[in-house]
Chain A
Amino acid sequence: MNSGPALVSILRQGSTLIASIHTALDDSELVRFRTDLVGQIGEHRCRGVIIDVAALDVIDSFAALTLRTIAEMARLRGARTVIVGIQPEVAFTMVRLGMGTGGIPTALDLEEGLALLTGGADGDRRRS
């Protein structure tokens, strides 16, 4: 999907798309990632999207906004989004900065994220 060494990989597992960000992305790369991901949701008829941000050392206001936009776009396309792998320092910074991921479900890691998506109601309860 991208040119050059993959900054992001998007894999399909069943009806779930797993997007892993491998390195720090700049703004234009984030926007391209958003476009690619939302495009693939339709292509693969996915019900769920997991975005793994464990490799992001910084989630600033633009990155947070992009994640929220992706989740909202995915929702409109009929897929639920879970963000996984937010680092503890990043979480701390996001809270201090005063931004969150809005209402996007989050999970500790990929495994939890998958469980959340496949578990349905069960997962929802765990989130709250």
Chain B
Amino acid sequence: MTPSQSAEDADLAGDSGRRLAGEDLTELLAIVRRVVGARVGSLPIAEDLVQETLTRVLAAAPSVDPGLLEPYAIVTAKNLVASMWRDDDRKRRNQHRAADLRAPESPEAQALIDEERSAMASALGRLDEHERALLIEHELRGTDTRTIAEEEGTTPGAVAARLSRSRARLRVEYVLGLDSGDPPTDRCRPVLLALSSADRRRQRELDAATHLFNCDFCGRLSEPLLARGQRQDGVLRIPIAADPDIVKARGSVRELAGRLGFSRTDLTVLATAVSELCRNIVRFAGSGELLVELLEEPRPGVRVTARDRGPGIADLEAALRDGVSTYGGLGLGLPGVRRLMDEFAITSEPGAGTTVTITIWGKDPTT
């Protein structure tokens, strides 16, 4: 910005001796317009540049020889135009640096944070004092289990177990707090706790799976709790709602059972049984779910529970008899599944749905 620099210098150094006459100014204005116009054309910025040039020339006028005022104005105009282009160009080149790639903070973010904070606070409030102190000591202050164990005179293992129980309870209270609703039944909280701590024995005692399927509240809340531990558990939930789901479920069950080292024959038998159960769900109830569990005791096995909340089966005995079909099939669905599987159990309540549980055990090669 040499012109501006020199103009200011001139202003500082200049005395207020000479003034420009009106006609000189008009003449200068015309010249400057021409110079700027030749370079910038009729862009809206042109008039700004003209005015800027005149301001500077006027400021510098006292220290410039009146005869040189015209060339001074021309040079000033040229310099201003040039520096404008240069600035524009620099801006263009560096524009990408100005881009802020972080997503703008959404207005609800703060509300969400507040909500989470209050849910966490109420969850912490519901823990008993001992659990709370332990969690804070370990999670916030970072004290390791060994130090805590030494202080309390127990073993690190016991502390870790207590920590994991406390965390499980905290998770349950947290999702309950977020939902800000009270569980509809007395069973909800223990079931959620059993799910949260991934305690499969306790889940079985409480028949958590049935409760989850029947209680919408727990079904919803359990999602984040189950999402944590599903992988290591060897438990798979497969929603069934349409024909393609049958083929998919068949494949998933086969894949899961394949991990137990089942023979190809057993895998096919299992997949076929699953196929029949899924078809019943799609045909009669519209939708439902499969729960696949890997069993370890007494032998490796797979248990599949097919649940729906459909119309139920009015006459179970007839449904289990060969050759009775309600949709023009072979009538082999349920009786066939019963023949295929090692264990078979069915409960059905008209109007409330049907649950079929099948189990297949790995075959001991010596028997």
Contacts and interface: CB of A to CB of B under 8 A. Distances in A.
B243 A60 contact: no
A98 B339 contact: yes
Residue from B247, B272, B279, B329 having most chain A Cβ neighbours under 10 A: B272
A98 B269 contact: no
Interface in B254-271: 254, 264-265, 267-269, 271
Interface stretch (A14-22, A25-33, A46-54, A104-112): A25-33
A59 interface: yes
A92 B250 contact: no
Given A61-B336, A62-B279, A98-B322, A93 B268 contact: yes
Interface string A73-110: 00000000000000111101100111100000000000
B340 interface: yes
A25 B247 contact: yes
A96 B344 CA distance: 15
B329 A24 contact: no
Given A26-B243, A97-B332, A97-B340, A60 B276 contact: yes
A60 B268 contact: no
B25 to A, nearest CB: 80
Chain B interface main SS type: helix
A28 B242 CA distance: 10
B335 A89 contact: no
A99 B336 contact: yes
Contacts of A99: 330, 332, 336
Contacts of A90: 268
Nearest to B282: A27
B297 to A, nearest CB: 25
A24 B332 contact: no
Interface residues of B, number: 27
Contact of B332 (A28, A29, A61, A92): A61
A27 B246 contact: yes
Residue from A29, A61, A65, A98 having most chain B Cβ neighbours under 10 A: A61
A24 B268 CA distance: 13
A8 B209 CA distance: 39
A64 B332 CA distance: 11
Contacts of A29: 243
A89 B264 contact: yes
Contacts of B332: 61, 97-99
A57 interface: yes
A97 B251 contact: no
Interface of B: 243-244, 246-247, 250-251, 254, 264-265, 267-269, 271-272, 275-276, 279, 282, 322, 329-330, 332-333, 335-336, 339-340
